[in-house]
Structures are given as structure tokens and as C-alpha cells.
Amino acid sequence: MSSLEQTALFLIIMVPLLGAVLTMFLPKDRPGDAWYFAIGVSVVCLLLSLYIFVSYDYGAGGFQLARSFQWLEAPINIDLSLAVDGISAPLILLNGLVLLGAVLISQTIRTRTRDFFVLLQALGAGVFGVFVVRDLFFLFFFYELAVLPMYLLIGVWGSSTDFGSFLRTKEYSAMKLFLYLIAGSILVWIGILALYVKSATLGTPTFSLEDLGNLAASGSISEEFQTWVFPLFMVGFGVLAGLWPFHTWSPDGHVAAPTGVSMLHAGVLMKLGAYGIIRVGMVLLPEGAENWMPLLITLGTVNVLYGAVSAMSQTDLKYVVGYSSVSHMGYVLMGIATLDPIGVGGAVLQMFSHGIMTALMFLLVGAVYDRAHIRDIYVLNGLFGRMRVNSFFFAIAGLASLGLPGLSGFIAEFMVFTGAFRTYLPLAILAVVGAALTAVYILRLLARTFLGEMDPRWEHLTDASPVEKAVGGVFVVILIGVGVWPEPMMRVINVGVASLPGI
């Protein structure tokens, strides 16, 4: 077991990465093989992520399972340092879960199957990488690696949406998403360079999060510097987290993407942004963070309300879910911006919970689209009549998203409110209003699409397939489990959040 302890974090990056490489060599004419292989890889990843989560000793706290490999020595000093703490452990687990779900659900990918799974596994590796590394270079490396496959995943296997008055093509959406995320990452990159240069002027140039964190903690990084660098990270990572007004890539991208990719993207990838703000922005630039948090929490609140209000008038099932992601990521941003242990803890839990919830929603919407080939909520109706399990799961996901107690979303949102209430009262109240607005669009969606009299043309629809049922079922159980008994999650998150500076 001790060897696993040594290598678990390394393995969790390498397994999907090698999986991606090996997938390329699978026979081209048997697409099923790629699927089975990807399942195998993601099962291993899930087991590893479970191991990492479970073996995290929340009593001891701090960074664990640490391992470091030298990559480039002086003068640049880059190490592949790996470690997990209470913030990353749940997110690693999240990625393990959603990755397996996404792979399973991608059984329906029929064209260029092999390429699809290569890219999907690369995406998974990138996300794992961001969560486990302790070095800015590699954080950025994996961050970009996670973005890299998106263009092709959406462009090749995605779908376009016809709005009547105009067509939102998958090519457009893919290009926008990709350029947007890269645009965000260039700000991050500049920020990283600034930090590196700063550390060089202070003696040892380093990318190590730990060393930089120590520098920040020792107060040798001036407040002025922090204040101009922090917005780079806030906006740069914020783009990926769907920060208003840099969010438009997200609904379009999620809608255009194939189901498995939407799941991973909305479920996990968006969390990278929020994670980056915490891990890089807050830890390395605590004073800068403090100065900018009023803006971040304001934008977060705008996210919540704006996303919810936009979602209300969407006619495309997937767009509703897409805008709901924008809205829900607002809670994450708000929670982070509170700089309050409860608020930030809530944000981290919300990342986990929203990851599962939104992945579930995209899964179910994808299932509907696969069968009905349409996503217009004015055309779809009464699907409950034919797709019972599907509708039931969707209802649970929807209820989780509107913050129903007993489901994980409630705990997270509630903690965010609590944290915000103590720090930014008016915005907290607006956020509570936003939660009420969520009910409006979720119920509207449920009522229009799943409930009511069924149009005879949906007679032929079939209920969720066994794979969809299994994945959805697991997600539902997690949503309920975390909602009813959040302590296993919270005790890990609490430790992680408590060690952040400024809290």
C-alpha cells in the first residue's frame, strides 16, 4: 500500500494520459474496443481517485501524498510536485466520477470513436493534473491540456442549434469556447510570469506553489504587486469558471458539445477556474485577493441572477442547463469571494455538487436528444410518459439545482449564503433571490418537457438505457448522499479551507 501512497497522484495523471496514447494504437475498425478500453482506464482512475479521497487524513490536514520529481533545474526551476489537500481531494473524486460517467455515456459515439476517446482521456488527464500539482508551470500545463481537446471534441462530435432566426453552429461554438478559454489562460500565464519574476527579484526564482505561498505568507510580496496581479488570475481563471461577462462561451459550448463532453466540461472543467482562483489567486496573493473580492462577489452575484434570468427564457433544453451552470458557478465565485471559512467551504462543496448535478443533467438531456432529436422545450412534452427513469432523475437533478434540502446543492448554497451573509449582506440576499429564480426555470422546464400530456409523436421514445440508468443512478445517490450526510465531504473540505491564508 505504501507504494500506492507514493505513486497514486502520479498514476492518476499518467493512467489517462497513457490511456490516450494507447488508444491511438487500437484497431480502427473496431470502435467498441476504444470504448471498453476507455472504460477500463477511467475505472482505474476512479479507483485511484477514491483511494486518494479516502486516504486523505483530514485529522492531519495539510498536503498529503506529496511527491516531487525534478523536471527542469536552475536557472528556471520547475518541478513536478504532486500533493493533495482538502480542497483538491473532493475535486479529484469528482473528476473520477464524471470521467467514468462521461466515458460510459459516450457509447453512442459512432464516428471516429478512437479519436474521441483519445481526446476524452487527455481531457481527463489534464483535469486530474491541475488538481494534483503543486507547481505553477505544471498547473498551467495541465490546465491547457484540459482545454486542448475541447475544440475537436465539440467541433467534430458536437451539434449545431437552429434558433430560427440564426444558426449557432458547432464550429462557432467550439471556436469561441476554445479561444475564450485560451484568452483566459493568457491572463493566467501573464500572472504566473509576474509571480515568477517577483520571486526571482526576491532571491530564488520558483514556480513552486509551496515556496511562493511561503513568500506570500512571509509578507515579502508587496500589496501593490498583489493588487495588480490578482485580477489577472481572477479574470483569467474566472473565464473558465463562467465569470460574467466572460461567460458566453459556456452555454454555447455546452450545448454544442456531445453529451459526454458537456458532462465533463460543465461538470469538471469549469471547476478548474474556480479552483485556480483559490489555489493560485487566494493563496499566493492574499492581500490582492482581499482588495478584489468585492468585485468578484459582485460579479458572482450577477452571475447568479443573470444566469437564472437568462435561463428562464431559453427554449432549448440544453441552453437552460447551460445558463443554469452560469448561474450556479456564480455561487462558487461568491463563496470564494467571501473569504470566509463557511463561504469558501460552501464554494468547494458547490463545485463538487454542481459537478455531479450538472453532469447528470447533461446526461439526461443528451439521452432525450439522442432519442427525440430535438431539444425545443416547446415541442417536447410529457416525456414522463415514456421516459420515466430519465424524467425522475432529471427532476432530482433539477431539485438539487434549485437547492432542495436533502440534496447536495442545498448544503453548498446554504453555506455560500451563510458565508456571504456575514461579509456582504445585500449581495447574499440577492443570491437567495437568485435561488428562488432557479425554481422558476427548473419548474418551467420540468413542467413543459417532462410533465403534462404526452404528444403521440413521442410514443416511440424509450427510457434511459441501462448504462444511462446506472450512471444517472450513481449520480443521484451521490446527490442525495452528500445532501443528507455531508460530513465525510465537509471534514475534508474544512481542513483544506482552513489552511488558506486570509481565513
Partner 1 sequence: MEWAWLIPVLSFIAAPLIVILGPKLPGKGSFLAILAIAAGFVIFWAVLSGFLGASPDSSHCETSADTGSLVCDYQQEWFHAGLASLDQSVTLTWGTLIDPLTLAMLGLVTFVALMVQVYSLGYMKGDPRLGWYYAVHAMFAGSMLTLVLADNFLLLYMAWELVGICSYLLIGFWHERPAAKEAAKKAFIVTRIGDVGLLVGILLLWSEVGSFSMSEAFNAATTGAMSEGVTTTAALLLLLGAMGKSAQFPFHVWLPDAMEGPTPVSALIHAATMVVAGVYLVARAFPIFQAYDGDALLVVAVVGLVTALMSASIALVSVDLKRILAYSTISHLGLMMLSLGAFGYTAAIFHLLAHGFAKALLFLGAGSVMHSTEAQDIRQMGGLIKVMPITAIVFSVGALSLGGIPLLAGFWSKDEILNAVSQNRNPVFIATAFVVAFMSAFYMARAMFVVFFGQLRQGLDHAHESPWLMTAPMMMLAVLAAGFGLINFNWPGAFPGFGGLIYFHEAEDFHFNLWIGVLSTVLALGAFWLASLCYLRERISPDILRQKAPWLAVVVENKYYFDEVYQWAVDRLVLTVSGFVALFDRAVVNDVGVNGPADTVRRVGFVLRLHVTGHLYSYALAMVLGTVGLAVLWWLRSV
Partner 2 sequence: MPELTQNIGLLSPEFALAGLALGILAIDLFLPDGKKQVTPWLSAAGLAGIIALSLYMLWGRQETLYGGLLAVDAFSLFFKVFFLGLGILIIFTSMEYVDRRLDNPGEFYGLLLLSILGMNVMAQSRELLTAYIALELLSFCLYVMAAYAKGEPKSNEAGLKYILIGAFSSAILLYGVSMIYSSVGVTRFADISLALGSAGDVSPALWAGLALLVVGLGFKVSAVPFHMWAPDVYEGAPLPVTAYLAIGSKAAAFALILRLVAEGFVPAEDLWSQWQIIFAVLAAVTMLVGNLVALAQTNLKRLMAYSSIGHVGFLLAGIAALAPSSVLASNGVMLYLVGYSITNLLVFAAIIAFFNLTGREEIVDLAGLADRQPFLAACIAIGFFSLGGLPIFAGFAIKFYLFVAVATGGFLWLAGLAIFASLISIYYYLKVIRQMYIEPVPEYVAAGSEREDGIVYEPEQNLSPSFLMLGVLAISMLAVVLAGVYPAPLLDLIEAASQAILPGA
Contacts of 411 (CB under 8 A, 6+ apart): 346, 349, 353, 482, 483, 486, 490
Applying CB under 8 A, the residues found at the interface with partner 2 are 17, 28, 70-73, 75-76, 112, 115, 126, 137, 140-142, 144-145, 147-148, 151-152, 155-156, 170-171, 174-175, 178-179, 182-183, 186, 189-190, 193-194, 196-197, 200, 205
Q: Which three cell numbers stand for residue 488?
A: 465525510
Distance from C-alpha of 180 to C-alpha of 245, rounded to nearest angstrom: 12
**Residue 145 interacts with, from partner 1, partner 2, none (CB under 5-8 Å by kind):** partner 2
**Residue 340 interacts with, from partner 1, partner 2, none (CB under 5-8 Å by kind):** partner 1
Residue written as cell 451563510? 418
Report CA dihedral (217, 223, 226, 231) to the nearest 10 degrees.
130
Task: Give the closest residue to 273 by CA, choosing from 151, 386, 187.
Answer: 187
Task: Give the closest residue to 394 by CA, choosing from 352, 442, 437, 327.
Answer: 442
Subset of residues 178 to 207 that bind partner 1, contact rule: CB under 8 A: 179-180
Distance from C-alpha of 335 to C-alpha of 413, rounded to nearest angstrom: 9
| Residue type (1 letter), 108 | T
> Which of 189/392 has CB closer to partner 2?
189
**Residue 115 interacts with, from partner 1, partner 2, none (CB under 5-8 Å by kind):** partner 2
Binding mask 292-321 for partner 1 (x = CB under 8 A): --------------x--xx-xxx-------
Distance from C-alpha of 371 to C-alpha of 317, rounded to nearest angstrom: 14
494 binds partner 1 (CB under 8 A): yes
**Residue 171 interacts with, from partner 1, partner 2, none (CB under 5-8 Å by kind):** partner 2
481 binds partner 1 (CB under 8 A): no
**Residue 481 interacts with, from partner 1, partner 2, none (CB under 5-8 Å by kind):** none
**Residue 66 interacts with, from partner 1, partner 2, none (CB under 5-8 Å by kind):** none
Cβ of residue 208: shortest distance to partner 2, in angstroms? 14
Cβ of residue 454: shortest distance to partner 1, in angstroms? 8
101 binds partner 1 (CB under 8 A): no
Distance from C-alpha of 67 to C-alpha of 332, rounded to nearest angstrom: 29
Q: Distances from the Cα of 485 to the Cαs of 60, 91, 190, 342, 477, in angstroms?
A: 22, 18, 41, 17, 12
Q: Distances from the Cα of 229 to the Cαs of 43, 188, 193, 221, 282, in angstroms?
A: 40, 9, 10, 11, 11
What does the binding site for partner 1 look like in residue numbers (CB under 8 A)? 176, 179-180, 245, 247-249, 252, 306, 309-310, 312-314, 340-342, 345-346, 382, 384-385, 399, 403-406, 410-411, 414-415, 417-418, 421-422, 425, 428-429, 432-433, 435-436, 439-440, 443-444, 447, 451-454, 485-487, 490-491, 494-495, 497-498, 503
